Amino acid sequence: MSESSFLCLLFFVITVSTINAEDLIDQTCKKCENRSIILNYGLCSTSLQVIPVSHAANLQGLALIAMELALENATTTLSTIEKLMMNTTSLDGDDEELALRACLRDCLELYSDAAWRIMNSIGAFLSENYETTKTWMSSVMEAASTCQEGFAEKGEASPLTKENYNLFQLCGISLCIVHLSTPAIPS
């Protein structure tokens, strides 16, 4: 094969696999939005687009990437919470500050637990323990909601609204893709 025909072939292969990966992401996100009243197609497709083509070849790969994105998100939010907590110590220690600190402390615990659960979900998925993965990823979605509701219950504006929303969505997307990528349990 001449060098130029090799390059043509290479270009063709790269183009085709790029299209396939985009297609897969697009179709998967549409399906997930359809299956759920909460999942957002836009967030799903922009989040998953960051994946290198080589990893987006199939649904199993997408499921893993979605969980890794959720883990990265949870870990970053953990350090955001720590910074926010350090910030509240410089306030004058009134009831408002105490309430805010209590909420942040709860969220810190929820998020460190969440990061641990997502890591274990990835491990469970790799060992084909899909039910465990689903249970843990659902519990992380609940953790994001619980963190958010904590502020509302104390009448505080949540400083973590965007973070909680992102984690909730990324876990919902992971869960949906895990469902799509694994065989249904025979009934």
Per DSSP, 56 falls in state -
Q: Which of 21, 39, 45, 47 binds ligand NAG (CB under 6 A)?
A: 47
CA 69 from centre of chain? 5
User: Which range binds ligand NAG by CB under 6 A, 10-18, 71-79, 101-109, 120-128?
Assistant: 71-79
**By CB under 6 A, is residue 87 in contact with ligand NAG?**
yes
The nearer residue to ligand NAG, 69 or 143, going by C-beta atoms, is 69
Quote the tokens at residue 57. 């070849």
Q: Please tell me the distance from the alpha carbon of residue 156 to that of residue 79, in angstroms, as a whole number.
A: 20
| Residue among 110, 182, 109 nearest 143 (CA) | 110
The nearer residue to ligand NAG, 1 or 50, going by C-beta atoms, is 50
Q: Please tell me the distance from the alpha carbon of residue 68 to that of residue 159, in angstroms, as a whole number.
A: 24
Neighbours of 36 (CB within 10 A): 13
**By CB under 6 A, is residue 20 in contact with ligand NAG?**
no
- Is the separation of the CB atoms in 182 and 130 below 8 Å? yes
Q: How far is the CB of 60 from ligand NAG (least distance, A)?
A: 19
**By CB under 6 A, is residue 43 in contact with ligand NAG?**
yes
Q: How far is the CB of 88 from ligand NAG (least distance, A)?
A: 9
DSSP 81-129: HHHHHHHHTTS---HHHHHHHHHHHHHHHHHHHHHHHHHHHHHHHHTT-
Largest CA distance in the chain: 77
- Interface mask (CB under 6 A) for ligand NAG, residues 99-128, using x and -? ------------------------------
Q: How far is the CB of 160 from ligand NAG (least distance, A)?
A: 10
Q: Which of 2, 3, 5, 83 binds ligand NAG (CB under 6 A)?
A: 83
Q: How far is the CB of 32 from ligand NAG (least distance, A)?
A: 9
Binding region for ligand NAG (CB under 6 A): 27, 30-31, 34, 43, 47, 69, 72-73, 76, 83-84, 87, 166, 170
